[in-house]
Structure 1
Amino acid sequence: MNGTCAKGGNPVLFNSIVRRNFPPPKGVTEIKGSYEKEGPVLVDTHGKYLESPRRVAGEMNVSFIDLNKLIHDLVTGMGVENSRKLFMWIPSGQYEFCPEGKIDNTHLNIYIWWTSSCQVGCGRFDGRSAGFGKICATL
């Protein structure tokens, strides 16, 4: 960050995005990275780790974007079934490189990156929006 500031840049810190984690009721078994039946509540997997970037941003007096909250609200708003569209859920037989398909509740697909980058660029986050007006004007 010091190097960026020294060159006239404006560093921005982010915290980690939410994982798609809807734990099932007790007694339901996990299958290939997911559950046969998911529960209704999105549960955090990062704990106190999420606060480190916010703290450092405050100490260094630089912008902070709570990307975890932004994605958490999006995933929660979409619900258990529809939120799968945001992550790397690949149906079996769809791609030659992944014939058996894949369930990945950690990594996002291109759709959500486009959606969330537009929100971040336009300052739709909890934090200081200085420097983001230029980005928003080009979107």
Structure 2
Amino acid sequence: MDKEDKRRYFVVGSVYLEVVTPLFQQKLDENYKSLNFRCLKDFLDRKAVIHILFHLRHRNAWCCTDKLNCTNHGALPLNHHQWKQLYAENPGPGIHNCFCKYTAKSIKPADLDLSLCGLILYNCCNLGQLDEEAGPYTPTE
């Protein structure tokens, strides 16, 4: 790769991070507000949202409160750092692995990176017609 190719990759990467990341953050902000949630924390604490994200992070876990909707993904697109950024474990009795043991942290969309915004938008939000036509978002690690 010559010097000019490196420069082009840098420019494209910079534009992607500086344009797409804020766009995803804004889209997430608009989505949870349109559902009448005051803040991102309230949206992330919603039972359906935390359950979906829990199974994107934890493999072979069967929840105590919602076994019917449990899923087991081969790949875990939500990494440990992202999960810890979103949720804190509630102290309490029992050593079971269930989403009911977690509570969302106070976080703003601007604190989330591109891949985490994409995961939340794609898996937990109702995307519009144009968003659906754009295709699925699959982050890479």
Normalising by structure 1, report the TM-score: 0.25
Normalising by structure 2, report the TM-score: 0.25
Query: More strand by proportion, 1 or 2?
Result: 1
Give the structure with higher Rg (CA): 1
Highest relative contact order (Cα 8 Å, sep 6+), 1 or 2? 2
Query: More helix by proportion, 1 or 2?
Result: 2
